[in-house]
Amino acid sequence: MKTILITGVTRGLGRALAEWYIAHGHTVIGCGRSAEILNLRFTHPAPHDFTSVDVAEENKVALWSEHVLARHGAPDLLINNAALMNTPKPLWQVPAAEFNRLIDVNIKGVANVIRYFAPAMVARKSGVIVNLSSGWGRSTSPEVAPYCASKFAMEGLTQALAQELPAGMAAVPLNPGVIDTDMLRQAWADGASSYPKAEAWAKVAAPFILQLGPKDNGKSLSVSALEG
């Protein structure tokens, strides 16, 4: 069984992955910003470990990592899932505060988590880092330029990271496909409901992610609920 760290664990893909991994005997360590983190603590007590953390705040991530590494050691699998979507509109109409917050979470937040958890994984010379990308990290659409920018950044960041890791490890940018989540509803409103639910996606994606290893290092991969 593996120790799996997931950011953005209170809803959407992160929550669905956490529930699947817990149901299949793995230990899940997660963070999120919503009050739902308290419910996760209640429904999934130790050895699971859920903490309220905003990944955009480096000092909070640093404190969280001290707690996690002391209690659980380095994770076997680190999944950077936490991300925001901009309100769809032309780039020049996106307020600076909204743009900045998205970049802080989607890019800087991932870097913060890697900065404080990767060293322990590197020292052990094992482990897989999965950074959630998007179809909008490999192609574009109008009115989601900030989100596209952040996910294109995930592709580059992860592929460069993959070249820095020791043998035995892997970093993978993973496109989850189009899933009916709150984030997609923000982008596509009612059109999101025609796509697979996060729980259906997790049934395919969670075991797929578990099988990732050094052979996949630096590869831009995709996993879709439709594959199940």
Task: Give tens-digit pLDDT for 178-196.
Answer: 775 555 455 555 654 555 7
Mean pLDDT value of segment 155-184:
88
**Residue 147: active-site member:** yes
* Structure token pair of residue 196: 């697979």
pLDDT bucket at 225, cuts 50 / 70 / 90 = low
Confidence (pTM): 0.93
Closest listed residue to residue 170, CA positions, set 203, 126, 136, 206? 126
Which of left, alpha, beta for 129 (phi over 0: left; psi -120 to 50: alpha)? beta
Structure confidence by residue, pLDDT tens digits, 70-129 = 999 999 999 999 999 999 999 999 999 999 999 999 999 999 999 999 999 999 999 999
Fold of 3-227: Rossmann fold (3.40.50)
**Predicted local distance difference test score (pLDDT) of residue 197:** 84
Q: Which of 21, 116, 147, 195 is catalytic?
A: 147
CA–CA dist 104, 50 (Å, integer) = 22
**Distance of alpha carbon 96 from alpha carbon 156, whole angstroms:** 23
Predicted pLDDT of residue 224: 78
Would you tell me the crossing angle of helices 109-124 and 145-164 to the nearest 10 degrees?
20
Burial class for 66, CB neighbours closer than 10 Å (0-12, 13-18, 19+): exposed
Q: What residue spans define the domains of the chain? A: 3-227
Q: Six-digit token pair at 3? A: 């120790």
- In this structure, what token pair is assigned to residue 13? 């893909």
Contact 224, 203 (CB under 8 A): no
Residue 199 to residue 179: CA distance in whole angstroms: 10
**How many Å apart are CA 114 and CA 102, to the nearest integer?**
18
Q: Are 40 and 10 in contact (CB under 8 A)?
A: yes
CA pair distance 199, 117, nearest whole angstrom: 27
Amino acid at 94: V
Q: What's the DSSP call for residue 108?
A: I
Mean pLDDT in residue range 132-156: 97
- d(CA 207, CA 225) in angstroms, rounded, equals 12
